[in-house]
Amino acid sequence: MAGFSRSLDTARRLGFKGTLIHLGRVALTTIPGGSAFRYFLVVLDTPRPTPDALLASKDHTFRFATLDDIERLRQDPDSQLYDRDILSYRNGCRCLLQLDGDQLVGYTWISSTPLVDLDWGLHFNMPDDMVYNYNGYTVPKYRGTAYQGLRHLKVLEHVHAEGKRRLLGYVDHMNYKSLHGVRKSGYRHVGVVRGVSRKGTAHFTLSVGESFWSTQPRSGPIQR
C-alpha cells in the first residue's frame, strides 16, 4: 500500500507525460537478480545568475577556502561540512565560499583532477578546460535567492586564469529535484552513463559528445 501511495504521489507531481518518462527510467535500472545505475552528464559553460542574486550579493565575498576555514566552519552544524570535506581539501579539492561579512552564505566544491569516479570504479576523463563541480550548499536562512547559480559564475571566474571554462556534473536520472536545479543554473544535458551488474558481470554504456570527453591518457589522483 505504501508503494502504491508513493506511485500516486509521483504521478500527481510529474503529470501524465512525466510519469511515462519516469516509468521508462525505472525500467532502465530495474534488473532482476542484479543492480544498475544511470546518470545524466551535465555541463555548464554560460552561468545564468538571476538579477536578484546579483543584487543581493553585491556586498558578499567569494573566495576559495583555506584549510583553517574548513576546520572552523566544520564546528558549525549549519555548515554541513564534515571530516570527509577536510580530507577532500587535503586531496586537492577546492571549496568556493560565499560570505556575508563573516557569515557563511554557502559554498560549492570543485575538483580539477581530470579523472572523476562516477560509480563502481568507472572513471570519466574530462577535457583539460573542464572542472568537476559538486556539493553545492546554501545556509537555510539565505535560501530562496538562487545563490547556487551565482556561485557557478564565481567559480568559473576564479579558475579562468587556469584555462578552465566549463563545469561538469552528473545527476541520477531520477533525482528530479537536482535535475531541476542544474537546469535552472544553466547546465546542459550532454550525455548519459549506465552501469548494470548481474551474475558476476558488469556492463557499462556511455554516450557523450566528443567535445565533452578527453581521449588523453591519464594518471594521477581520482576524484571520488
**What is the model's pTM?**
0.88
Cβ(191)–Cβ(41) under 8 Å? Answer: yes
Q: Where are the beta strands (DSSP E) in the chain?
A: 34-44, 61-64, 94-100, 103-111, 115-119, 122-125, 130-138, 166-172, 188-198, 201-208, 222-223
Sites in the chain below the pLDDT cut of 70:
1-12, 220-222, 224
Give the per-residue pLDDT at 16: 75
Give the per-residue pLDDT at 14: 75
Give the per-residue pLDDT at 6: 59
Pick the CATH number of 34-223 from 3.40.190.10, 3.40.50.720, 3.40.630.30, 3.90.1570.10: 3.40.630.30
Q: How far is CA 155 from CA 15, 42, 145, 151, 216, in A?
A: 36, 16, 18, 6, 25
